[in-house]
Amino acid sequence: MKGFGGKVVVLLLFVVVFLGLCVSSAPSHAQPQKWWQSIFSVSSGVNPIGSSVVFPLHGDVYPSGFYYVELNIGQPPKPYFLDPDTGSDLTWVQCDATPCYKCTKGPHPLYKPNNNLVICRDPLCAALHSSEEYNCDYPDQCDYEVTYADNGYSIGVLVKDAFVLNLTNGEQHHPHLAFGCGYNQQPGASYHLLDGVLGLGKGKSTIISQLNTQRLMRNVVGHCLSERGGFLFFGDGVYDTSRVVWTPMSRDYSEHYSPGFAEFIFGGKTTGHKNLPIVFDSGSSYSYLNSQAYQAFISLVTKELSGKPLEEAEEDQTLPFCWKGKKPFKNIRNVRRYFKPIALSFANGWKSKSHFEIPPEGYLIISSNGNVCLGILNGTEIGITYNIIGDISMQDKMVIYDNEKQMIGWAAASCDRIPKSKTDVD
Ligand SMILES: *[C@@H]1O[C@H](CO)[C@@H](O)[C@H](O)[C@H]1NC(C)=O
Ligand SMILES: *[C@@H]1O[C@H](CO)[C@@H](O)[C@H](O)[C@H]1NC(C)=O
């Protein structure tokens, strides 16, 4: 996961020459099919409404601290483990740009480009550099640099290749999509041993936006996280929209998926903390409240625990606040009765409100020492001005980002049951 805000800045640097030398002169690798042969067999489009693709997710909030998804790319397709990040747009894989200038060892061999560079004049290249003047110094290539909130970065060049997508309707598609061939990576603080990043943000350069342009599915992305995995999906075919609580995407934190401002509810009662700007960030394992709301939350939890058989476990360094019981806890279900549910209440247009409920499982973990720890942290400490709903609080829910309708939705779900079709979702 890309850490806190997952904020991405796309910059242009002086890396052009390097690629001019490396990638364009790369020997073409033996491929059973040339990229340009199959580009003409790209789907002419299906009805994008109701069309979806579902990817199983692996990982957890604790102890791994991240989730990952397998994507199959290339001809023949090869697997890559990618870090799903709703805080950034560009998908990239570590790439053998003859050779890779700076790659870390991932679970799979580096992606090999095969003369499949995206040219500078391609609209996708412009989309990637939206806010800047991009001069095509090297018209045959499109350079990128993404930097993440955790100080990691990837520098590379856009390439286009086939992705294997099994649609929920049983069809298999091989759309050609642009992604980053990253030949210079600096892992950030939240680094995990993976092959690259799957950018799920709002921008035009995402995989899902490209699938939408090819009329394969609607520009909708969602996830359903569980204690041991879950699934990620593209398209609008795996949920029943009438059972989803929808709230408009806010423009205030425009680089993030934000449902706007919320009131913080503890145990069904208001805490007096209103107008908290909220950001949903799959790139953050834990949730974060600003200092005042965090202080109020800690006081309320502490008050609730007085007289209960739980004692603060200061020796447990897993997270800032942990408690021990008479015996080590094995499961959150052993201890959840001592904690109250919390909720965020969004003023959703005129007179209507929508609630994002967080049960104790959505803010507690059981540490490896068998103590129970708070998975909501002090956002002011990490220098953010907004509040983050991280993976821990999005578990056991479908969270849906509809980039066409500009709505964010959520619905209770069993995330370990991977849907095959709409009728399969409970
Ligand atoms: C897609 O479906 C095919 C055939 O059912 C299967 O062999 C393959 O593993 C699936 N690929 C992915 C990426 O899910
Ligand atoms: C949160 O972090 C800020 C900045 O480090 C600090 O001043 C504040 O006391 C912290 N709040 C709590 C409740 O720990």
- Note whether 57 and 232 are within 8 A (CB): yes
Query: Which pLDDT does position 46 carry in this prediction?
Result: 62
CA–CA distance, 188 with 201 (Å, rounded to integer): 19
Please give the backbone phi and psi of residue 424, each rounded to the nearest 5 degrees, phi first.
Answer: -85, -10
Query: What's the CA-to-centroid distance between 167 and ligand 1, angstroms?
Result: 10
Pairing of strands 52-60, 66-73: antiparallel
For the segment 389-407, the average pLDDT, to the nearest whole number, is: 97
What is the position in ligand 2's atom list of the atom closest to the CA of 295? Answer: 13
What is the position in ligand 1's atom list of the atom closest to the CA of 164? Answer: 13
Please give the backbone phi and psi of residue 347, each rounded to the nearest 5 degrees, phi first.
Answer: -75, 105
For the segment 82-101, the average pLDDT, to the nearest whole number, is: 93
Q: Looking at ligand 2, which residue's alpha carbon is closest to its atom 11?
A: 291
CA–CA distance, 143 with 146 (Å, rounded to integer): 10
Q: Which residues pair with 287 in a beta bridge?
A: 376
CA–CA distance, 143 with 182 (Å, rounded to integer): 10
- Note whether 56 and 145 are within 8 A (CB): no
Query: Which pLDDT does position 190 carry in this prediction?
Result: 73
Tokens of 256: 């993030």
Q: Which CATH number fits domain 32-234: 2.40.70.10, 2.60.260.20, 2.40.320.10, 1.10.3720.10?
A: 2.40.70.10
Query: Which pLDDT does position 420 carry in this prediction?
Result: 75
Q: Looking at ligand 1, which residue's alpha carbon is closest to its atom 9?
A: 166
Q: Looking at ligand 1, which residue's alpha carbon is closest to its atom 6?
A: 166
Report residues whose beta carbon is within 6 angstroms of any ligand 2 atom. 291, 294-295, 378, 380-381
Q: Looking at ligand 1, which residue's alpha carbon is closest to its atom 12?
A: 166
- Note whether 395 and 224 are within 8 A (CB): no
Query: Which pLDDT does position 246 carry in this prediction?
Result: 94
Q: Looking at ligand 2, which residue's alpha carbon is closest to its atom 8?
A: 291
DSSP 334: G
- Note whether 16 and 155 are within 8 A (CB): no
CA–CA distance, 358 with 361 (Å, rounded to integer): 8
Tokens of 418: 């991977």
Query: What's the CA-to-centroid distance between 34 and ligand 2, angstroms?
Result: 57
CATH 2.40.70.10 occupies which residues in the chain? 32-234, 242-412
R_g of the chain computed on alpha carbons: 22
Burial of 49 (0-12, 13-18, 19+ CB in 10 A): exposed
CA–CA distance, 393 with 390 (Å, rounded to integer): 6
Active-site residues, by number, are 85, 281
Architecture of domain 242-412: Beta Barrel (2.40)
Query: Which pLDDT does position 189 carry in this prediction?
Result: 75
For the segment 39-56, the average pLDDT, to the nearest whole number, is: 70
Q: Looking at ligand 2, which residue's alpha carbon is closest to its atom 13?
A: 295
Query: Which pLDDT does position 111 carry in this prediction?
Result: 97
Query: Which pLDDT does position 178 carry in this prediction?
Result: 97
For the segment 59-77, the average pLDDT, to the nearest whole number, is: 96
Which residue would you say has higher pLDDT here, 34 or 225?
Answer: 225
Residues near 395 by Cβ (< 8 Å), separated by ≥ 6? 61, 225, 226, 227, 230, 361, 362, 415
- Token pair 């001019």 in the structure block, residue: 20
Closest CA to 344 of 291, 285, 280: 280
Q: Residue 124: which H helix or E strand, with range?
A: helix 123-128
Per-residue confidence band for 253, with pLDDT thresholds at 50, 70 and 90? confident
Per-residue confidence band for 50, with pLDDT thresholds at 50, 70 and 90? confident
Q: Three-state DSSP class for 38?
A: helix
Mean of all residue pLDDT scores within the chain: 87
Query: What's the CA-to-centroid distance between 295 and ligand 2, angstroms?
Result: 8
Task: Identify which ligand lies nearest to the alpha carbon of 379.
Answer: 2
Which residue would you say has higher pLDDT here, 24 or 43?
Answer: 43
Query: What's the CA-to-centroid distance between 201 and ligand 1, angstroms?
Result: 26
- Note whether 249 and 408 are within 8 A (CB): yes
Q: Give the model confidence (pLDDT) of 333-355 as tens digits.
A: 999 999 999 999 998 766 678 99
* The three-state (H, E, C) secondary structure of 352-387, written as one string: CEEEEEECHHHCEEECCCCCEEECEEEHHHHCCCCE
What is the position in ligand 1's atom list of the atom closest to the CA of 72? Answer: 13
For the four alpha carbons of 84, 406, 123 and 175, in that order, the dihedral sign comes to: positive
Neighbours of 230 (CB within 10 A): 27
Closest CA to 64 of 43, 39, 42, 81: 81
Report residues whose beta carbon is within 6 angstroms of any ligand 1 atom. 72, 164, 166, 172
Query: What's the CA-to-centroid distance between 104 and ligand 1, angstroms?
Result: 28
What is the position in ligand 1's atom list of the atom closest to the CA of 70? Answer: 13
For the segment 114-137, the average pLDDT, to the nearest whole number, is: 83
Residue 426 predicted with pLDDT over 60 = no
Among 116-130, 153-167, 376-390, which is the least confidently predicted range?
116-130
CA angle 315, 318, 320 (to 5 degrees): 75
Per-residue confidence band for 255, with pLDDT thresholds at 50, 70 and 90? confident
Closest CA to 274 of 296, 246, 304: 296
Instruction: Name the residue of 380, 385, 387 whose CB sits within 8 Å of the most ligand 2 atoms, as the mutation to test its pocket.
Output: 380
Pairing of strands 257-266, 276-280: antiparallel
CA–CA distance, 76 with 33 (Å, rounded to integer): 8
Query: Which pLDDT does position 38 carry in this prediction?
Result: 39
- Token pair 């490896």 in the structure block, residue: 368
Task: Identify which ligand lies nearest to the alpha carbon of 163.
Answer: 1
Q: Residue 69: which H helix or E strand, with range?
A: strand 66-73
Regarding pTM above 0.95, the answer is no
Query: Which pLDDT does position 349 carry in this prediction?
Result: 63
Task: Identify which ligand lies nearest to the alpha carbon of 54.
Answer: 1
Query: What's the CA-to-centroid distance between 390 and ligand 1, angstroms?
Result: 30
Q: Looking at ligand 1, which residue's alpha carbon is closest to its atom 11?
A: 166
Which residue would you say has higher pLDDT here, 345 or 23?
Answer: 345
What is the position in ligand 2's atom list of the atom closest to the CA of 298? Answer: 13
Task: Identify which ligand lies nearest to the alpha carbon of 374.
Answer: 2
What is the position in ligand 1's atom list of the atom closest to the CA of 77? Answer: 13
Closest CA to 76 of 35, 124, 131, 135: 35
CA–CA distance, 398 with 376 (Å, rounded to integer): 20
CA–CA distance, 393 with 410 (Å, rounded to integer): 12
